[in-house]
Amino acid sequence: MQTTTLSFSNLHVHGELFANLFRARRESFIVQKNWDLPQADGMEFDQYDTPQSRWIAVHDAGDVLGGFRLTPTTARCGVYSYMIRDAQNGILGGSIPRDLLFEDAPVDPTVWECTRVFVNHATPQAIRRKVHFSMVDAMTASAREVGASRLIALTGATWPRWYGRCGLEATAIGRVMWIDDGDFQCVSINLASKLH
């Protein structure tokens, strides 16, 4: 099992991995969860998949086992910034409630947003925990590379049950809300203690 951080500047080095990550995202979010998201050529994508972001893939022999996207809270591309902030500002048309945060969404070079987190449904149960730990390690390493000490994420409201087990120090920064198929909540993940 390997973990790779992808960016527009290095994706040419990794062959089909970038496309395979987007194919796995489609399988996870569109096929399995039935979310109404943009897709083309068997890949899921959105307006935040820009050169400002980084994508982490946990993979084995070409198969993507899990992954996620990191986007700086300072990102700008046309009218868009990053998903949580755009939702709060009403740019996403209400698909995510505007009152998802207790305070204004941060715009800070040391804070990045973590989105599109998934473990491929085809990943065997016997290695899922290992995939989760690989994702947490990659999250920390990638944050270090980009100068982030904190991540924010819109995640399943069950996060208190498993974040601690994965070694993540997180706090709620928004209310629990129903979106599409479940309860979600915004959290702040403190990585400062992991960056030494």
Say what the pTM is: 0.93
* C-alpha angle 164-26-65 in degrees, rounded to nearest 5: 45
**pLDDT at position 85, please?**
98
Whether the per-residue pLDDT at 192 is higher than 90: the answer is no
Going by pLDDT thresholds of 50, 70 and 90, the confidence category of residue 181 is confident
Q: Which residue has the higher pLDDT, 143 or 84?
A: 84
Residue range 140-178, pLDDT digits in tens: 889 889 999 999 999 999 988 888 888 889 999 999 999
Report the CATH architecture of 2-194: 3-Layer(aba) Sandwich (3.40)
Q: What is the DSSP secondary-structure string of 64-130? A: EEEEEEEEETT--BTTB--HHHHHHTTTTTTSS-TT-SSSPPP--TTEEEEEEEEE-TTS-HHHHHH
Whether the per-residue pLDDT at 194 is higher than 80: the answer is no
Mean pLDDT confidence for 60-65 = 92
Domain residue limits, the chain: 2-194
